[in-house]
Chain A
Amino acid sequence: MSLRTSRSARAGQYVALLGYLVFLAFPFLWLISTAFKPARELGSLHPTWIPEHPTLDNFRQAFDEQPLLQAAANSLVAAVSAALIAVVVATPMAYVMARRRTGLTAAATGWVVVSQAFPFVLLIIPLFLILKNLHLINTLWGLITVYVVWALPFALWMLVGYVRAVPPELEEAASVDGAGRLRTLVSVTVPLLAPGIVATALFAFITAWNEFFFALVLLKTPEKQTLPVVLTHFLGAEGAAELGPLAAAAFLATLPSLVLFAIIQRRITGGMLAGAVKS
């Protein structure tokens, strides 16, 4: 009897899981399907899941219509610079926040929370005015500056979790052996932190690569704009013929994030939750 109920419950669980799989996957599959469909199929009233005559024309057309390569290069420069600077700047501070209990640590933790809750519009207006005075509007450096500040809260958050996972006893042992403080940090702590630092940098890269709002506000000319902003240019005149290139470009823009996310998935979820779950 109990076996039977558990078996039917199991079946119910699989049906539910299947429902989730369909809900989560179908929009992405439809995007891929649209990207490989020829214009004639996109115009038909009975679209199919699998393109009848798959084609790469949409990709070619997408590159012809919008400066996608330039945009990808801009995105790459902005995201790599922001991720590197954010991690270099945040790691020492995260170390202090994890190891020392000072008023500064509490204040920094408070700032991390507040910065998550603040509406971006209240941050971007003053930043826009500041960057305008520095003549950094419509430059990648202006955007990178904003991305670094924007990445710092979660970079600190993740790194503090990773630092806490490094036992302080190791550092104490090194300092007993006569290593100076900085040497202990560089030769003992940083190597142990390396995987966490890499994961944090990649996560910062992904969020900067995906970011839209700041880029929309700060970058005015097409040759300076990043991929998400350029993608929205496809939206203007959206006839049946334009759906294909739109889908193709959107699909390409997603690939780097997806690949990197797949690589660091476990570390990210672990790192983000290190602080949230009671140990």
Chain B
Amino acid sequence: MTLANATVQSGRLGPPGSPESRHGGTAPRINRHSGTWFLVLPALIPILILSVGPLLYGIALAFTDAQSGRTRSTQWVGGLNFQDLLHDALFWDSFRIGLVWAVGVTVPQFVLALGLALLLNQNLRMRWLARALAIIPWAMPEVVVGIMWRLVYNPDAGVLNETIRDLGLGDGRDWLTGLATALPAVIVVGVWAGMPQTTVALLAGLQNTPHELHEAAALDGAGAWRRFRTVTWPALRPVALSITALSFIWNFNSFALVYVLTNGGPGGRTRLPMLFAYEEAFRYGQFGYAAAMGCVMVAVISVVLAVHLAGRLRGGEDQ
């Protein structure tokens, strides 16, 4: 799931040049290469034109005054958009909210998913049911997840307030429009929605841990916690790091869930950077400025990826 992983794998599994040396002289080798291009081009062309090109174009736009529906041609403005961003208090609010959201979702998500994965790795009855249910949020459209939780949070007809009333804990509240409750409420939804991917990844990692080591440690009288720390965690660490970095990035870039739940309200308390940039670009038509916001988000994500890769390398040295 990461660059490091994939290259390690291709290095190990790819038979380096062995077929060529066995079967081929020069002529088949040339054939091979022309064949390769023939196989690669159908994907490579759209990737270059519609992904790599636009990504570079998007970064370039951040240094222009591009706007929608304007007749005057677009000008280079250098770092002006970034200077404006620096003084844009609303953007930094949104940025801070984005970080709180991303950390607030990723960390509980990881802890909960780890617990669920450990349970699903046990020989429990009802495991199949839990596995099936754990996948549901993954299959659902994000818009539906948002709608569903709006129904749960609904102040009158919602099940949450009804449960609170039943338990005699008061009248409940309007979770998604309260200034104090909106962000925590959407974070809970984020945790719920992202749990499957994390759980599945961790479960696969667990099933990869050496079973004999577990038994040996148990025979030596190691308790559950020590077995987890000395046997399970070292084997799980690479997967755990990868999935945590990935879900942080996914969450930081998240849009649809919060768009449906609160649309950034109340008073901007849940306005994630993606929502902010979307409004800037497609409501106010400030393409250049929105692209600059995107670039700042890329910077944050790059830092996360760098820390992640550094962590992986360090982990590799330990072993």
Q: Please, how many angstroms separate the alpha-carbon atoms of A16 and B126 in the complex?
A: 12
- The reply to whether B141 and A105 form a contact with Cβ atoms under 8 Å apart is no
Partner of B136 from A124, A152, A258 at Cβ < 8 Å: A258
- The reply to whether A99 and B152 form a contact with Cβ atoms under 8 Å apart is no
Q: Please, how many angstroms separate the alpha-carbon atoms of A49 and B204 in the complex?
A: 35
Q: How large is the interface on B (under 10, 10 to 19, 20 to 34, 35 or more residues)?
A: 35 or more
- Answer whether A123 and B156 are a contact pair too, CB < 8 Å, given A278-B208, A279-B9: no
Which A residues lie within 8 Å of B162 (CB)?
46-47
Q: Please, how many angstroms separate the alpha-carbon atoms of A156 and B53 in the complex?
A: 19
Partner of B274 from A88, A89, A121, A128 at Cβ < 8 Å: A121
User: In chain A, residues 223-279, which have Cβ atoms closer than 8 Å to a Cβ of chain B?
Assistant: 227-228, 231-232, 234-235, 238, 240, 243, 246-247, 250-251, 253-254, 257-258, 260-262, 265, 269, 272-273, 275-279
Partner of A125 from B112, B130, B165, B287 at Cβ < 8 Å: B287
- Answer whether A276 and B1 are a contact pair too, CB < 8 Å, given A31-B148, A101-B11: yes
Which A residues lie within 8 Å of B119 (CB)?
13, 16-17, 20
- Answer whether A92 and B141 are a contact pair too, CB < 8 Å, given A119-B253, A121-B277: no
- The reply to whether B58 and A122 form a contact with Cβ atoms under 8 Å apart is yes
Q: Please, how many angstroms separate the alpha-carbon atoms of A119 and B300 in the complex?
A: 11
- Answer whether A253 and B255 are a contact pair too, CB < 8 Å, given A13-B122, A119-B277, A269-B200: no
- The reply to whether A145 and B50 form a contact with Cβ atoms under 8 Å apart is yes
Q: Please, how many angstroms separate the alpha-carbon atoms of A279 and B6 in the complex?
A: 12
User: In chain A, residues 142-201, which have Cβ atoms closer than 8 Å to a Cβ of chain B?
Assistant: 145-146, 148-149, 152, 156, 160, 164, 168, 172, 175-176, 181-182
Which A residues lie within 8 Å of B23 (CB)?
172, 175-176
- The reply to whether B143 and A231 form a contact with Cβ atoms under 8 Å apart is yes
Which A residues lie within 8 Å of B157 (CB)?
34, 42-44, 47, 240, 243
Say how far A56's CB is from chain B's closest CB, in angstroms: 18
Say how far A134's CB is from chain B's closest CB, in angstroms: 11
- Answer whether A121 and B47 are a contact pair too, CB < 8 Å, given A20-B116, A110-B3: no
Question: B residues bordering A, Cβ < 8 Å?
Answer: 1-3, 5-16, 19, 23, 31-32, 35-36, 38-40, 42-44, 46-47, 50-55, 57-59, 61, 66, 112, 115-116, 119, 122, 124, 126-127, 129-130, 132-145, 147-152, 154, 156-159, 162, 165, 192, 195, 200-201, 204-205, 208, 224, 238-239, 242, 246, 249, 252-253, 255-256, 259-260, 273-274, 277-278, 281-282, 287, 290-291, 293-295, 297-298, 301-302, 305
In the A-B complex, the 10 residue pairs with the closest CB atoms: A122-B294, A261-B139, A210-B141, A92-B39, A276-B1, A93-B43, A126-B54, A126-B57, A228-B143, A212-B256
18 contacts between A and B (CB under 8 A): A21-B129, A30-B152, A47-B162, A96-B40, A101-B14, A102-B36, A113-B3, A118-B55, A120-B274, A127-B50, A149-B47, A152-B43, A228-B141, A235-B147, A235-B260, A247-B147, A273-B1, A273-B204
Knowing that A238-B150, A273-B201, A279-B12 are A-B contacts, what are 15 other residue pairs whose CB atoms are under 8 Å apart, sorted by A's residue number?
Answer: A14-B126, A16-B119, A20-B116, A20-B134, A44-B157, A92-B39, A93-B43, A96-B39, A122-B295, A172-B23, A234-B147, A251-B144, A262-B139, A275-B6, A278-B9
